[in-house]
Amino acid sequence: MKVRSLLATAGVLSLIIISPAPSRAAAPYHGCPPAFIGPVSFEELIERWPPPPGLDIEGVLSGLDRNGDRQLCVRESVPQNQAGPINVIDNNAAM
């Protein structure tokens, strides 16, 4: 009887010791990484960087906006005064 009780206690203790600690994820960050401009609204983005004609820009931007706040971060690949491609990410990017 003592052996069975001892084994049961050892089993329970081993589960307590081995079980992982709860993860402590950081709160979502709703800003932009240092190299990016923003957060900017869809309207600001469309005004500052006009899309090509015929592109469903609302659909594209909605697909990038993972947290649904209509705010994105933009990184220009050329100097500000020149037209060129931009890199757009959501404003909840991991930092």
Is-above-0.85 flag for pTM? no
pLDDT greater at residue 19 or residue 42: 42
Rounded distance, CA 89 to CA 53, Å?
A: 22
Tens digits of residue pLDDT in 36-87: 999 999 999 999 989 999 999 999 999 999 999 999 999 988 766 667 789 9
Query: Is 64 within 8 Å of 92 (Cβ atoms)?
Result: no
Strands of 1-95, DSSP E: 37-41, 71-76, 86-90
And the tokens for 11? Answer: 């089993």
CA 14 to chain centre: 37
What pLDDT score does 12 carry?
47
